[in-house]
Structure 1
Amino acid sequence: MSSPEHKQKIWKLIKDIKVGMLVTNDHDMPRARPMHLVQEEYDGTLWFFTRRSAEKVFETRQDHDVCLSFSDQEDGVYVSLSGTASLNDNPDLIEKYWNPFVAAWFPKGKDDPDLTLMEIKIHMGEHWKANESKVYQLYEIAKANFKKNATPDMGENEKFGH
């Protein structure tokens, strides 16, 4: 688990990326697909709309453990989050997170019987954030190649959870 401050840090890193790759187990093989965030804040749980009939739903019923990865190469942000997935049909939550983007994918609306929310409770993760420009990063890589036993300083890296 992480502190409220750390949750805000994670949210600051992923909120503008919006799309994360959800990794599930498909018959013991990892499988990833893009998922679009629908929330405006993060408290340790991530929310995504999905179809109840989607393969990812069947995969998470077999194995609740999932991983989500977010990346923004331009800003040097990389986030990996691991947690457990479940479905949530709470109409208040569906109303809260409903938006025009979601409506485009679900033309039958909020009452579509195939519509559900995937709730992912995050247990652990890791993030990387480059603190400097690409030019500086290239300098750090070149410097590390010339010095023995040196590694480039590419910025911040932090693990949390288990």
Structure 2
Amino acid sequence: MSSPEHKQKIWSLIKDIKTGMMTTRHGEELRSRPMVLVQDEYDGVLWFYTDLESEKVFELESDNDVCISFADPDDHVYVSLTGVGRAIQDKTLIDKYWNPFVAAWFPDGKDAPNVGMIEIKVVKGEHWNSDSSKMLKSVKTAKAKMKGEQPDLGEHEKFGLDK
């Protein structure tokens, strides 16, 4: 797990990206789909709305290991988080995070029987953050190659279990 400071770091990297690609296992295949964050803070758990009758929910029931990745190529920020996912129907959470964007996906409203939440408890992850432009990266890479070193292209950190 990570410290409160590190959780704030992760949140600072993903909060403006909002949409992550969640990967689940469908039999022997891996499947990814976009999921939109609904929370306004991060404490080691990510929350997303879902249709409780969707394939991703059935996939989580048979294998609850998930990976969700966030990318902002314009700002050179990349985050991959691995955790345990589950679908729940918690009216308190549904009410707490409900908004007009979510309502567009659920035309029968928040009290419809298929409205639920996906909870991902993050156990490990990795992030990259480089504020360098492509040109600066190219220069750093060329200099490092000439010196026989690896280029410093920004921050990269692994955290959690089995770093």
Q: How does 1:38-57 map to 2 (within 5 A)?
A: 38-57=38-57
Find the residue that maps to 2:92 and give its secondary structure: helix
Matched, 1:150 2:149: yes
Matched, 1:137 2:137: yes
Displacement of 1:134 in angstroms is 2.6
Q: How does 1:11-160 map to 2 (within 5 A)?
A: 11-145=11-145, 147=146, 149-160=148-159
Report percent identity of matched pairs.
58
Displacement of 1:148 in angstroms is 5.1
Q: Is the 8 A contact 2:85 2:121 kept in 1?
A: yes
Indicate the larger mover: 1-10 or 124-133.
124-133
> How many Å separate the matches in 1 of 2:80 and 2:25?
16
Find the residue that maps to 2:136 and give its secondary structure: helix
Displacement of 1:144 in angstroms is 3.2
> Which runs of at least 4 in structure 1 moved beyond 4 Å after TM superposition?
none
Displacement of 1:136 in angstroms is 1.2
Structure 1: 5+ residue stretches without partners: none
CA root-mean-square deviation: 1.0
Find the residue that maps to 1:38 and give its secondary structure: coil
Displacement of 1:143 in angstroms is 2.2
Q: Is the 8 A contact 2:60 2:87 kept in 1?
A: no
Q: 1:9: which partner in 2?
A: 9
Aligned length: 161
Normalising to structure 2: TM-score of the pair? 0.95
Displacement of 1:138 in angstroms is 1.7
